[in-house]
Structure 1
Amino acid sequence: MRKLVNQEIREIGVYLNMEKKDSKSLAERCIAYLVKRGFKIALLEGQISYQHELVHYYPSSIFYEQPDCILVLGGDGTLLSVARKSCFSCMPIFGINLGKLGFLTEGEAAHYEETLKNLTTGHYYIEERMMLSCIITRKNSGAHEYTALNDVLVKSRGSRMMEIRAFANGATIDKFRADGLIISTATGSTGYSLAAGGPVVSPRAKVMILNPICPHRLHDRAYVLPEDEVITLEFGEREKDIVVTLDGQTTVSITPEDKVQVQKSSHCTRLIRLNEISSYERLRIKLLSDFES
């Protein structure tokens, strides 16, 4: 859902992907632009040093809830990482792309001044994106909950075919023999799920896509499930080296005796959008740029 925002911004967090070679220089230019106009800057301790009376440093326990919004310098992977931490405080985030496609990021590094001008003059919207809650229940150590914006992937670490039984609210969906399963949000439908043959889904749709990877049966296809269902995965007793991966970044090893439940999270990602480009146009632009590059 997209909401017009009139909230005044006074302090802007700046988070950068330290592995991107241009991120530090871009961060310094963005900070210089913002402090010149009187905005406070929040930096995560240990990232970069910038000496100015308007620049403050915070530990991670405070950084993701202190500023009015967070500027993320990197690609979609960087933004996904920040989203999983900032969602608990309903923090709005927006990205300036230093990666390749950048489906989630809003601006480009070459036009950072225009991007920041639109943000600081209040010309922006908030898009709320559904997230997933992944609860792993272990036989001997209880339940552990994780959060993802794009997807939850279950597969064998050895890339071997698996047997996975999937249920929705207790009703059997199917027993899959596949290289793994992807459960994605509409936001994640243009990620790994799309590469595995899944559908493109409008990010406004509150659904989950259950998509087998390289299934043994040729007729197996992706399932699109409503937001209020709970997907439960169980595994064949002979399975081994099973891993659950959140947004392609956080990996958890599990055993065949463990259960995986995926459902709509009570938290959401709040993306700042600076223009009224539709998600369909954004997708066409990104895919076309990838095709022509």
Structure 2
Amino acid sequence: MEKPDSKALAERCIAYLINLGFKIALLEGQIQVQHELIHYYASSVFYKKPDCIIVLGGDGTLLYVARRTCYYSVPIFGINLGKLGFLTEGEAAHYEEALRNLTTGHYSIEERMMLDCIITRKNSIPHDYIALNDVLVKSRGSRMMEIRASANGSTIDIFRADGVIVSTPTGSTGYSLAAGGPLVSPRANVMILNPICPHRLHDRAYILPEDEVVTLEFGEREQDLVVTLDGQTTVSITPEDKVQVQKSSYCTRLIRLNEMSSYERLRIKLMSDIEE
């Protein structure tokens, strides 16, 4: 908990839940509160312990937690301390109301598609990664690069661009949107393949079905290539490496408190961004 306001809110949430008699699991090293109903766990076991995980912060914090909880099907409830908060549900100013709905069962669970990213290196075993929002491939030097994109073995296109984003519908409100990609309903099981600042004016985002495997390969002269997952985990690669992206068998389970549609939620969040 790097923000002072997240620590203060955590203490208020803990006190509220303890007053109702709930047992609380806390991650070691984040906050120290002594009570018989509080138990501390190392990160190696924490993410599979609770019935749900309450995340205090913005979308970045929730993305970090999502990549760790998805393996255990633990639902996530986000209370927003950031700006837009597309993924979070409650607001810090109304935390008691949010917790009241959560603890009395007035909620639903929304499953969000995730991506598996497999990086295959020459003479090495593949390395697997997972993302909720997107997988980005670019050059550290922000230079234009050549990227061959294929799906299930068939070439889609050879992009000359600053990079390529493969996004989930959840990630369509993130970097992909900033790169000119479409807004996609989170209920749609599709992938968005979106070139960043393409050299050719006709290059646009592709919407691909969930059962296809996207393969990205690179020109031999490319340099300083990196793969970034959810804007948080960065892996260096070489032009000889191959990046494959596909729908994951895991998903993120988000707790929702009301009947607000995803379209209404998106409209409200985008309008608040304009007003700021």
1:227 maps to 2:210: yes
Partner of 2:62: 79
Report the Cα distance in structure 2 between the residues aligned to 1:182 and 1:113, rounded to whole angstroms: 38
Partner of 1:7: none
Length-normalised TM-score, structure 2: 0.99
1:37 maps to 2:20: yes
Report the Cα distance in structure 2 between the residues aligned to 1:20 and 1:138, rounded to whole angstroms: 39
Q: Tell me the amino acid that sits aligned with residue 24 of structure 2.
A: I
1:92 maps to 2:69: no
Identical aligned residues as a percent: 84
Deviation at 1:187, TM superposition (A): 0.4
Partner of 2:231: 248
In structure 1, the gaps of 5 or more residues are 1-17
Partner of 2:156: 173
Q: Tell me the amino acid that sits aligned with residue 126 of structure 2.
A: A
Q: Tell me the amino acid that sits aligned with residue 146 of structure 1.
A: Y
1:262 maps to 2:231: no
Report the Cα distance in structure 2 between the residues aligned to 1:209 and 1:20, rounded to whole angstroms: 33
Report the Cα distance in structure 1 between the residues aligned to 2:4 and 2:164, rounded to whole angstroms: 34
Partner of 1:9: none
In structure 2, the gaps of 5 or more residues are none
For each residue in 1:118-152, what CA deviation from the matched residue of structure 2 results, as whole angstroms up to 9, or x when unmatched? 00000000000000000000102210000000000
How many residue pairs match? The answer is: 276
Report the Cα distance in structure 2 between the residues aligned to 1:139 and 1:183, rounded to whole angstroms: 23
For each residue in 1:21-65, what CA deviation from the matched residue of structure 2 results, as whole angstroms up to 9, or x when unmatched? 300000000000000000010000111101111000011121100
Deviation at 1:90, TM superposition (A): 0.5
Secondary structure at 1:22 match in 2: helix
Q: Tell me the amino acid that sits aligned with residue 242 of structure 2.
A: K
Partner of 1:107: 90
Deviation at 1:20, TM superposition (A): 2.0
For each residue in 1:80-105, what CA deviation from the matched residue of structure 2 results, as whole angstroms up to 9, or x when unmatched? 00000000000100100010100000
Q: 1:178·1:214 contact (CA, 8 Å) conserved in 2?
A: yes
Report the Cα distance in structure 2 between the residues aligned to 1:219 and 1:257, rounded to whole angstroms: 28
Secondary structure at 2:4 match in 1: coil
Aligned pair partner of 2:176 in 193, 199, 210: 193
Q: 1:155·1:181 contact (CA, 8 Å) conserved in 2?
A: yes
1:65 maps to 2:48: yes
For each residue in 1:239-275, what CA deviation from the matched residue of structure 2 results, as whole angstroms up to 9, or x when unmatched? 0100000000000000000000000001000000011
Q: 1:20·1:98 contact (CA, 8 Å) conserved in 2?
A: no
Report the Cα distance in structure 2 between the residues aligned to 1:185 and 1:94, rounded to whole angstroms: 20
Q: Tell me the amino acid that sits aligned with residue 35 of structure 1.
A: I
Report the Cα distance in structure 1 between the residues aligned to 2:91 and 2:123, rounded to whole angstroms: 48
RMSD: 0.5
Report the Cα distance in structure 1 between the residues aligned to 2:4 and 2:214, rounded to whole angstroms: 40
Partner of 2:39: 56
Report the Cα distance in structure 1 between the residues aligned to 2:49 and 2:275, rounded to whole angstroms: 41
Aligned pair partner of 1:238 in 217, 221, 228: 221
Aligned pair partner of 2:114 in 121, 126, 131: 131
Following superposition of structure 1 onto structure 2, how do residues 197-208 of structure 1 map, counting pairs within 5 Å?
Answer: 197-208=180-191
Aligned pair partner of 1:160 in 123, 140, 143: 143
Report the Cα distance in structure 2 between the residues aligned to 1:176 and 1:20, rounded to whole angstroms: 41
Length-normalised TM-score, structure 1: 0.94
Partner of 2:128: 145
Partner of 1:278: 261
